[in-house]
Structure 1
Amino acid sequence: MNIGVFMSAADLDERYTRPAREFGEMLGRGGHTLVWGGSGTGLMRVVADATRCAGGRLVGISVDLLREFAIEDADEMVFASDLAQRKALLLERSDAIVVMAGGLGTLDEATDILEQKKHGLHDKPVVLLNTAGFYAGLTLQLRRMAEDGFLPVPLEQLVFVSDDGASALAHLQDRV
């Protein structure tokens, strides 16, 4: 399975790097391909290294303006002309999506993917990996949107929230 993972390229502490490393190892051991932003820094590098060391493939999808940060030893590296094209390629090349801890770019990717799914533009499973409670606030907001009628489909059809990588991967394997 090609699993698209959105996450930060920042160097973060162990509460984020350990779960990212463990998830990458699970991807590799499962024979999956990591489709990610292609960066050789931060959480992106942690997940990529762990996936590769455990036997998985790496498909990086970066953007020209970040070319200098791209990992050089991916199995495949694609450079989009802009961020919108990058998001489109990440979705196109992925069978499923996992959103890990990240900043504004990750949040933009996550909400874009969910908006597209809401409109039926894709039916790929999406998991919000709530490492160390990182997405507790977003999860609360999504529930409020659902309860107050802002989502035309049940929240459970849009996204699965998981606190650990093993349940996230199990969810994806059941749906793809």
Structure 2
Amino acid sequence: MAAICVFCASSSTIEQNWLDLATDTGKALAARGHTLVSGGGRVGMMGAVAEGARSGGGHTVGVMPEQLVSREIADTKSDELIVTDDMGSRKNVMIERSDAFIVLAGGLGTLDELFEVWTTGYLNLHRKPIVLLDPDGFYDDLLAWLDRLADTAFVKRPALERVIVARTIDAALDTIESRL
């Protein structure tokens, strides 16, 4: 089975539907025997995905920079909690420890993580699947903007094809499993 990194919001003020999606994603990962790699927080969607995975008997790996351990409230229930020196090291560890990536709704941090794995994948620094799990069109405007950038040659079409959009958790996991 695979180690799947889930990028998502860590804010504690997220609406319940997003928390439910994160919880259900964690449960589905565990049900299929996958390990969860996450940002190591126990709040918001990040905490919900980890709790969902653990509730289904899944193995969880949290990765958090030292300066955020107290700020994001570290997920001390993680089977493995890796504390890094900084955010760059955090992303590197998350990429190294993961076989694939699922991106849920999130803000700047989630977008930073998405674009990091997207760019490094396009540069062939890894061949790991990247799936936007987007049941409600959260990323539709961003994807439309990126598609328009491809018309200007600022973004190449093959780069856009590196990210797959899935509307359901099962479709996201099926896509990943078919590409591993």
Q: Which range, TM-score by smaller chain?
A: over 0.9
User: Which residue does 2:95 correspond to in 1?
Assistant: 91
- Structure 2: gaps spanning 5 or more residues: none
Of stretches 129-138 and 86-95 in structure 1, the one that deviates more from structure 2 is 129-138
| Deviation of the 1:147 alpha carbon | 3.4
Q: Secondary structure at the match of 2:69?
A: helix
Q: Which amino acid aligns with 1:87?
A: K
| Deviation of the 1:137 alpha carbon | 1.3
Q: Secondary structure at the match of 2:77?
A: coil
How big is each residue's C-alpha offset from its partner over 1:87-128, in whole Å with a ceiling of 9 and x where there is no partner? Answer: 111100000011111111111111111111111111100011
- Structure 1: gaps spanning 5 or more residues: none
Q: Distance in 1 between matches of 2:51 and 2:102?
A: 17
Are the equivalent residues in 1 in contact too, given 2:37–2:97 (CA < 8 A)? Answer: yes
Are the equivalent residues in 2 in contact too, given 1:19–1:131 (CA < 8 A)? Answer: no
Q: Secondary structure at the match of 1:120?
A: coil
| Deviation of the 1:151 alpha carbon | 3.0
Q: Distance in 2 between matches of 1:159 and 1:15?
A: 24
User: Which residue does 1:55 correspond to in 2?
Assistant: 57
User: Which residue does 1:113 correspond to in 2?
Assistant: 117
Q: Which amino acid aligns with 1:132?
A: D
Q: Secondary structure at the match of 1:108?
A: helix
- Could you list the structure 1 runs, at least 4 aligned residues long, displaced by more than 4 angstroms after superposition: none
Q: Which amino acid aligns with 1:54?
A: G
TM-score (norm 2): 0.92
Change (3 A) 1:156 1:173: farther
User: Which residue does 2:169 correspond to in 1?
Assistant: 165
Q: Which amino acid aligns with 2:114?
A: A
Q: Distance in 1 between matches of 2:152 and 2:54?
A: 43
Q: 2:155 pairs with 151, 154, 165, which one?
A: 151
Q: Distance in 2 between matches of 1:165 and 1:156?
A: 21
Are the equivalent residues in 2 in contact too, given 1:146–1:155 (CA < 8 A)? Answer: no
Q: Distance in 2 between matches of 1:139 and 1:157?
A: 11
Are the equivalent residues in 2 in contact too, given 1:28–1:55 (CA < 8 A)? Answer: yes
| Deviation of the 1:153 alpha carbon | 5.1
User: Which residue does 2:8 correspond to in 1?
Assistant: 7
Q: Distance in 2 between matches of 1:152 and 1:132?
A: 26
Are the equivalent residues in 1 in contact too, given 2:147–2:160 (CA < 8 A)? Answer: no
Are the equivalent residues in 2 in contact too, given 1:127–1:161 (CA < 8 A)? Answer: yes
| Deviation of the 1:157 alpha carbon | 3.6
Task: Report whether the alignment pairs 1:74 with 2:78.
Answer: yes
Percent identity, please: 37
